């Protein structure tokens, strides 16, 4: 069992102590805004404790959710953006559109997009670059498959995704990474605390070696089956600066259980 006390992140290096982001994926119609209202009501208190809450709804709800929660302390974001600023790209949305809809974050390179839409790290990097240019904070996702972990390649794969997906320049505090092992997403499986700790440490060190002090300030979220039961242990590990939450963020009850777990 890992001892919690010696695993606390250094608050000297990171801007907000914890960042909790809900990724609603392709779930939610207007009715879901009621859940966001309940989450927004808790967001101000959380901010007082240096915990930032955010929801990334489907694109169809982003503007309404941003308007409904403006001034509450709950931030919003999109789940993807195009790498180009505008043009003939039917069905896509640009980073400027996300910004215009009130978004603060945009998730790029989620494993579901890497798998479903063949997104390479180079494409993800271009999307992150577009997000930065539009004044958004990209949440760059990385993570190994089960086969890659079983082959002992997890760290090499994740570090190469980080290297390939993170643009060369970004403002201080202007870029977030989410480590999401593909095999832990939506499965109820979670890596051991030691494995999460080792991966976050490795990602942190690679960012420091590439970007120096600015790399040290990049928040690294964990994602994959996070819930109210496991969040307390996971989010107190060193360099686990928050969570990217799928299923458990779809209801205020599920999401706020995670918040309460990390407030303890």
Q: Report the C-alpha gap between 102 and 64 in whole angstroms.
A: 9
Q: Which of 57, 73, 215, 246 binds ligand 13P (CB under 6 A)?
A: 246
Q: Which of residues 102-161 bind ligand 13P (CB under 6 A)?
A: 110
Q: What single DSSP character describes residue 246?
A: S
Q: How many CB atoms are closer than 10 A to CB 80?
A: 22
Backbone φ and ψ for 177, nearest 5 degrees, come out as -115, 140
Cβ 209 to ligand 13P shortest distance, Å: 27
Q: Is 225 in the site for ligand 13P (CB under 6 A)?
A: yes
Instruction: Decide: 19 and 242 in contact? Cβ < 8 Å.
Output: yes
Question: Which of these ranges, 38-46, 128-136, 178-186, 203-211, lies near ligand 13P under the rule CB under 6 A?
Answer: 178-186
| Cβ 192 to ligand 13P shortest distance, Å | 16
Q: Which is nearer to ligand 13P, 191 or 224 (CB)?
A: 224
Furthest-apart CA pair in the chain: how many Å? 54
- Residue 171 interacts with ligand 13P (CB under 6 A)? no
Q: What is the Cα–Cα distance from 55 to 41, expressed in whole angstroms?
A: 13
The helix (H) or strand (E) run that includes residue 109 is none
Report if residue 165 touches ligand 13P, rule: CB under 6 A: no
Q: Which is nearer to ligand 13P, 96 or 181 (CB)?
A: 181
Contacts 24+ apart (CB under 8 A), 204-208: 204/239, 206/159, 206/162, 206/163, 207/162, 207/166, 207/177
- Find the residue with minimal CB distance to ligand 13P: 246
Q: How many residues bind ligand 13P (CB under 6 A)?
A: 14
Does 245 bind ligand 13P (CB under 6 A)? Our answer is yes
Q: Show the beta-strand stretches assigned E in 28-147.
A: 51-56, 75-78, 105-108, 137-142
Q: Which is nearer to ligand 13P, 32 or 216 (CB)?
A: 32
For position 244 contacting ligand 13P by CB under 6 A, the verdict is yes
The catalytic residues are: 110, 180
**Which parts of 23-42 interact with ligand 13P (CB under 6 A)?**
23
Q: Is 185 in the site for ligand 13P (CB under 6 A)?
A: yes
Rounded CA separation 215/75 (Å): 23
Using CB under 6 A as the criterion, which residues of the chain lie in contact with ligand 13P when the complex forms? 23, 110, 180, 185-186, 223-226, 244-248
């Amino acid at each position: 069992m890992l001892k919690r006390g010696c695993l606390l992140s250094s608050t000297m290096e990171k801007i907000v102590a914890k960042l909790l982001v809900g990724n609603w994926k392709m779930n939610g119609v207007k009715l879901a805004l009621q859940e966001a209202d309940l989450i927004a009501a808790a967001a101000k208190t959380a901010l007082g404790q240096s915990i930032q809450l955010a929801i990334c709804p489907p694109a169809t709800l982003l503007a309404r959710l941003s308007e409904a929660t403006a001034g509450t302390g709950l931030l919003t974001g999109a789940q993807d953006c195009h790498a180009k600023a505008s043009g003939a790209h039917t069905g896509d949305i640009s980073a400027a559109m996300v910004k215009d809809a009130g978004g603060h974050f945009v998730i790029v390179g989620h494993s579901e997009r890497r798998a479903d839409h063949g997104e390479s790290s180079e494409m993800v990097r271009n999307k992150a670059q577009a997000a930065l240019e539009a004044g958004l904070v990209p949440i760059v996702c990385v993570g190994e498959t089960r086969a890659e972990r079983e082959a002992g390649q997890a760290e090499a794969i994740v570090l190469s995704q980080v290297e390939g997906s993170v643009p060369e320049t970004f403002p201080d505090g202007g870029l977030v990474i989410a480590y999401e092992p593909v095999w832990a997403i939506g499965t109820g499986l979670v890596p051991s605390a030691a494995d999460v700790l080792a991966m976050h440490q490795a990602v942190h060190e690679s960012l420091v070696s590439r970007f120096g002090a600015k790399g040290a300030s990049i928040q690294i979220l964990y994602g994959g089956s996070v819930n109210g039961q496991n969040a307390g242990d996971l989010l107190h590990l060193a360099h686990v600066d928050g969570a990217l939450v799928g299923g458990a963020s779809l209801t205020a009850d599920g999401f706020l259980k995670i918040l309460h777990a990390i407030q303890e």
